Each structure stands twice: as C-alpha cells, then as structure tokens.
Structure 1
C-alpha cells in the first residue's frame, strides 16, 4: 500500500526576535522537532533532526533532550538514532476523543462502509489540507493507505473539493491559488479554473469526486458536512479503487450513499 509523501517542516529561526511577546519559541522548537519525524524519516541523527526542524544542532540537542526526558522521543536500541515514542499518541488521541463530530459520525461511517463495501472516512480542513479524523475500513483490498491523522491536499481530492464547495467562490479561489498545485499523477487537475468547475459541480450535484488525481488506482466520492449555521465542518467520503469500480459506476451507486451519510451526520451534529 502507498502512503502520502511527507510535507516539508517549517524552518525555525533560532535567533529571530519574537513578533508576539506571548509567543513561546521553545515550544515552537519542540513541536518542530516532533513534526520532523514522519514516514520517510522514522529515525534520525541529531544533525538530521536539526536540518529537518530548521534549527542549529545545539538548539536541537536541547530540544531533543527535553523531549527525551518527557518521554516523547527516544533512541533506537540498535542504531541509536532518535525516533518518536508511543507517548506522542496521547496528544492526537485526546483531540479525537474529545471531538464531537468524530463521536457523532462514527456510527454513520460504519453504515456507509457496510452499505458500500468500501472504506468510509471523515476529514476536516487544516490549512490547505484535509485531515483524516475517523475511518471505517472494510475487508476489501485498498491500494492506498490513508490512516487517521494523515493529511491530503484539498485541490486534488474529493473531500477537499466537497469542503471548498461550501465557501463563496472567491474564497475557494484564494485558497486554491495559495495551494502548491503539483501534478501528483497524469490525471491531476492543477488549473484553478478547472478545479473550481469541479467545486461548482459539487454545489449542484451534492458530491465531489476525483479519479486518480492524488494516487493511481484510487478514486474518491465525497459530500460536505454542514452544521446548523450553514458552515462546513468537514467531509465524508469513500475511496473506490479503479480495480473494482469505474468512475461512472461509483458516481451512480456510491454518490447517493455518501450524500445521505453526510446529510445524516449534518442533521445529528446540528441537534
């Protein structure tokens, strides 16, 4: 299975004066070190951590030592390279455990997965990405691994386009213009107007789609989740693989299920 390519870590300037007197630069450095680890950088030397986090080796050493003492970072027994420790999961779990949308959505995601036979997921917006916050996996083979906690770009995904469809066109355009619209596959739409046309279609049809724009062999059918005030909180989607579905068949059979699931979650979260 394939996982998402890691995003670059934002550099931390060691000696930059704080623009905000309440801003804690030590905490920023600690978070930068934690973000430096990902699927492509599971273990690292101190120099590698410093480079990935954008700080000096001396600053990285102090930060890594503090995180070691707190139990969030440790050393691999054989290689002696630094790696994340299981305690880091506490932070993400606490967010999910207290997230009202996740709690409401789970039974509806289960129903969608059972009815469609495909993995059903819940995502919410984070900057220019959509973040997986809940998922129900079926026994069917899926070519792409998209676990809870993974971020995917809005511009080339069904869930991102579904969420963008809730925004005024000018706001959606501005977000797309700020995105790094890379051609992830030969099918990826990168032109802003072309993507906005798909977003506009979602407003009309009630669902958005992508066909092998993020990963080859993978499609997406998504619908937005709207609260009682008309704000989009996230999106629900299924990911039918091209090995089992044509786009036309997925749109005909799965789109109504996804729309109904999103409406049910929207109604439940509004009460």
Structure 2
C-alpha cells in the first residue's frame, strides 16, 4: 500500500529558535493550529486538533476561539468541528503576490505550458520538501490534482531531485538523510546511494525524470532554476500521465523545452538570492 503525500510534515523549526526571548510561543501555537488542516484532516474538533498539533486542550480552546473570532476558522454547520475559512487564504496569497521569483518566472512557465500543452509548475524548496508556488495546468487528461501550496518530498520528485542536483554533494546528502524516505509507490527510490547516483545523472543531463515514484500513473521531468552564482533557487517541472506518455518520449520531446525554460528563468532571476529555509 502506498503512502499518502498529504501526511507530510507541515512545518520546519529553526534550531534553538524557541529559546530566543523574541520567540512568541502563543503565535507559534496558533499557526500550528492553522497548518494542522489538510486533505486528510479537512475538519476537526478540539480533541482531534489537540492530537494533530500536540497541544493541550486548554491551549487548543484558546487558539481556536481566537482564530474563529478573527475569521480564520469556522464551525462546520452546527457541529463542534472546525474548518479553515476563505480568509485563511490571505496568508499564502500574500506570498504569491509579493515573491519576486514567481513574478519573474511566471511568463516563462506559462509559455512552456502553451508550447507543450502539458501541466507546468514552479516549485520552491522548504525544509526537505518542494512547494508548488505557480501552476499552469493542461487541458488534457490529468488524473492528479496538485494545488498551489502542496508540499512534496525532494528525494522522490523530479523538481526536488533537480534542485538537489544543483547543490554540492555533501549538502544534497544532508537533505536526503534528513528526509523521511517513505516508499509512496512500488517504484519509489529511497536508498541514499541510489539517490546520489540519480542526482549525478541529473547534474549531467540537466534534468531529472521520475516515473510513478510518488503518484501511480504520473511521469514528471524537472529542471533547476539557479542564480548568477549557480545557487539553486527553485525548479520547474512538467507532469504528464503515463496513459499518454512514455518516459523516453518525455526525455526526447519535453525535457529539452523544459531545460530551455529553466535557463530563461535563471537568467531572469540571476540577481536573486536563495531564501533562508
């Protein structure tokens, strides 16, 4: 049985941050409540929220009351279960509207989508995951829905391996070792040495290809976006269903267009610096 990508960790804690006098514990707890919701937990009562966040019931009650009063949470009908509201989108949308990399990359990713007719995405790293920050979907058959903000592991995704391939080997291995290397399908590569070999291949080819490593029926190819110093900033990927594409055709037809698009974005983003993650 394959693992569920929706059960990924949703936060990254900076070492020693909680020991700082500047760290606001109440704020951190409130945010942990908001980020506890997801596809596998769309609605929760107080007890379920306590289990999901690790917070005690008293803290959960105060946090939920405050978030409900501010409009970020709402009760589900007349029940005791809570859901995120549309207002909660404000937090993530603010980033999408102000991120310079997204603004510079969007025209090229959109053009790639028009050229290929397939779903093309921009992903940025966070922790050991890649986060979808821009998405131009295909009008053709696409059985997998991946929303903006979705986080997927670096080690078993085309975008993630493309990003890791642009790092020094030691740094890439650090990401791999810190990852929770789950076998999402029968095809997922989890062995560190095999992953390093795949990164070396991606570094040589200029792109990374995966076949059904995280979703059955999905083939994806990814290329890294770098700045003028060669530091990886993000990655672009093209995702296609195996019902319409074979891996060798993806390499022959889509990979060259993807690499060209990644180079164009890299040129547009050459003055940017990697964000602290």
Question: Same fold, TM exceeding 0.5?
Answer: yes
1:225, 1:232 within 8 Å by CA — same for their partners in 2?
yes
State how 1:20-31 maps to structure 2 within 5 Å: 20-31=20-31
TM-score normalised according to structure 2 size: 0.92
Rounded Cα–Cα distance in structure 2 between residues aligned with 1:202 and 1:9: 27
Match of 2:158 in 1: 158
Cα distance in 1 between the residues matched to 2:20 and 2:150: 30
Structure 1 residue 241 displacement after superposition: 1.0
Instruction: After superposition, give the CA deviation of every residue in 1:166-213 in whole Å (9 maximum; x if it has no partner).
Output: 111111111101111111101100111111111111111110111100
- Residues 91-148 of structure 1: CA distance to partner in whole angstroms, max 9, x if unpaired? 1000010011111111111111111111000001000000000010120111211111
Aligned to 2:178: 178
**Residue 200 of structure 2: aligned partner:** 200
Q: Which moved more, 1:77-86 or 1:160-169?
A: 77-86
Kindly state the Cα deviation for residue 261 of structure 1 after the two structures are TM-superposed.
Answer: 0.5
Could you report, residue by residue, the CA deviation over 1:214-255 in whole angstroms, capped at 9, with x for unpaired residues?
A: 110001101000111211100001001100100001011000
2:275 aligned residue: none
Counterpart of 1:7?
A: 8
The DSSP-based 3-state class of the residue aligned with 1:270 is coil
How many aligned residue pairs are there? Answer: 263
What CA distance in whole angstroms lies between the structure 2 residues aligned with 1:131 and 1:5?
12
**Pairwise CA distance, 1:80:** 3.8
Q: Identify the residue that residue 133 of structure 2 maps to in structure 1.
A: 133
Contact 2:43 2:83 in 1 (8 A): yes
Q: Are the equivalent residues in 1 in contact too, given 2:8–2:152 (CA < 8 A)? A: no
Q: Deviations over 1:22-41 (max 9, x none)?
A: 11110110011011111111
SS of the residue 2:141 aligns to: coil
CA RMSD in angstroms, aligned pairs only = 1.5
SS in 1 for 2:241: coil
Unaligned runs of 5+ in 1: 13-17
Report runs of 4+ in structure 1 exceeding 6 Å deviation. none
Deviates most, 126-135 or 107-116: 107-116
Contact 1:9 1:53 in 2 (8 A): no
Q: Tell me, what secondary structure is at the counterpart of 2:8?
A: coil
Q: Is the Cα–Cα contact under 8 Å of residues 6 and 38 in structure 2 kept in the other structure?
A: no
Q: Who is 1:229 aligned against?
A: 229
Whether the 8 Å CA contact 1:9–1:52 is kept in 2: the answer is: no
Residue 9 of structure 1 and its aligned partner are, at CA, apart by 6.1
CA distance in 1, matches of 2:19, 2:111: 49
Check 1:9–1:259 CA distance in 2 against 1; reply closer, same or farther (3 A cut): closer
Question: Match of 2:70?
Answer: 70
In 1, distance between residues paired with 2:5 and 2:113?
Answer: 22
d(CA) in 2 for partners of 1:112, 1:9: 30
The 5 A counterparts of 1:86-97 are 86-97=86-97
Gaps in structure 2 of 5+ consecutive residues: 272-277
